[in-house]
Amino acid sequence: MKKTLIAACALAATSMTAAYAATTLSTVPGQSTTVTNYYKQSVYDPKQNKIGDVDDVLVDQSGKISGLVVGVGGFLGAGEKDVIVPFSAVKSSKKDDKYYLTLDETKDSLKSSTGFTYNKTTTSWEPEKK
């Protein structure tokens, strides 16, 4: 009985380890990048004028980044408006060995776009109520 119990525990431990090992990766997926390259980074227009900062990264159901929430206007967060831009619209540029984000928009065009507010209860972004 004791041998059967030890064998069952060993088998259970082995199967649990195998089950969890399947959920981790042993290498970094090709063509992947870290969200740190976007989250909390400044965004600039094509003339290198600062537009705002990335406040959130939106991920769709398949796990792909679908959009970025960019805070525009305001001073030190006060009076800032959050807008959502498609992830595909944001480009990474390099100048003086430093990467930065650019968007083919102006601060004024973004400030006139639909604003969004974060709902902590539903953990989702919702259009601003006028």
Q: Is residue 51 part of a domain?
A: yes
Domain count, the chain: 1
Does the pTM exceed 0.85?
no
CB atoms within 10 A of CB 69: 19
Question: Is 26 among the domain residues?
Answer: no
Backbone angles phi, psi at 42, to 5 degrees: -75, 150
Whether 8 is covered by a domain: the verdict is: no
- Give the pLDDT confidence of 5-45 residue by residue, as tens digits: 454 445 455 555 555 556 888 898 888 888 888 899 999 99
Q: DSSP secondary structure string, 72-109? A: ESSBTTBT-EEEEEEGGGEEEEEETTEEEEEESS-HHH
- Residue 57 pLDDT grade (very low, low, confident, very high; cuts 50, 70, 90): very high
* 4 has pLDDT over 60: no
* CATH code for the domain in which residue 44 is found: 2.30.30.240
Beta bridge partners of 95: 98
Which comes out higher in pLDDT, residue 109 or 37?
A: 109
